[in-house]
Amino acid sequence: MSDMESKSISSGFVIRIEKGEELIGAIKLFCKERSIQAAKLSGIGAAKNLSLSFFSEKDKTYIEKKFNKNYEIISLSGNISKFNNEIIVHAHIAISDENYNVIGGHLNEAYISVTFEGFLEVFDIQLNRKKHPELNLNLLELTDGS
């Protein structure tokens, strides 16, 4: 059971993630428990021990880098979708250090060091991903146009 605190709003949830919890895993579990299949995710807070990636368009692969200090989460933005029946939390993050330098990337993992205050705007649709063979990425599949 997720121990994430939340408050229901007309468009979804206001969420708060506790210190020590891993952000991507906590949101994934929250969505699983509430059968959320499609959503917009945003938030701010503070985290440490982050794993970010940069997608090399040339090599068609993610290059991972770890950031182990404590950072402010300046902005997290992403979406919730499904790939092969699994909930996918796709998020990008901008973080700043004690010198106010901002870095960012595709978020793999982040441990909340103080708090995370976020919004999940839930959509009443199926949002699926499909493997793009040339890019080697699972892209959103938006085919019906409705």
Least distance to Zn ion from the beta carbon of 51, Å? 13
Q: Which of 34, 40, 82, 106 binds Zn ion (CB under 5 A)?
A: 106
Judged by beta carbon, residue 106 or residue 129, the one nearer Zn ion is: 106
Least distance to Zn ion from the beta carbon of 10, Å? 28
CA gap 7, 119 in Å, rounded: 10
Q: Which stretch binds Zn ion (CB under 5 A): 11-19, 60-68, 105-113, 138-146?
A: 105-113
Alpha helix locations (H) across 41-98?
none
CA gap 128, 117 in Å, rounded: 26
Least distance to Zn ion from the beta carbon of 62, Å? 8
* Burial profile 2-36: b = 16 or more Cβ within 10 angstroms, e = fewer: bebebeeeeebbebbbeeebbbbebbbbbbeebeb
- Report if residue 16 touches Zn ion, rule: CB under 5 A: no
Give the interface with Zn ion as residue ranges (CB under 5 A): 106
